[in-house]
Amino acid sequence: MATAVEVEHEWEYSYKDWEALKKAVDAGGGVLRVVMWELRHLEDAGRLGVHVRASISRNLLGLGLAHLPKELPSYQEQEAVIYKLGTPAAAVVDAVAGESNKEAEAALRRLNTSRDSEKLQAVTEKFAELSEILEG
Task: Please check whether residue 80 is in contact with residue 89, taking contact to mean a CB–CB distance below 8 angstroms.
Answer: no
- Domain enclosing residue 37, as ranges: 1-83
Q: Which residue, 83, 100, 122, sits at the end of a domain?
A: 83
Q: Looking at the predicted structure, is the pLDDT value of residue 79 above 80? A: yes
Mean pLDDT is lowest, of 43-52, 62-71, 116-125, for 116-125
Q: Looking at the predicted structure, is the pLDDT value of residue 18 above 80? A: yes
pLDDT number for residue 71: 93
Cα separation, 104 vs 87, in Å, equals 14
Q: Could you give the number of structural domains in the chain? A: 2
Q: Looking at the predicted structure, is the pLDDT value of residue 38 above 70? A: yes
Q: Looking at the predicted structure, is the pLDDT value of residue 115 above 80? A: no
Q: Looking at the predicted structure, is the pLDDT value of residue 70 above 80? A: yes
Same domain, 21 and 77: yes
- Angle between the 101-112 and 88-97 helix axes, to the nearest 10 degrees? 140
pTM: 0.71
pLDDT number for residue 9: 37
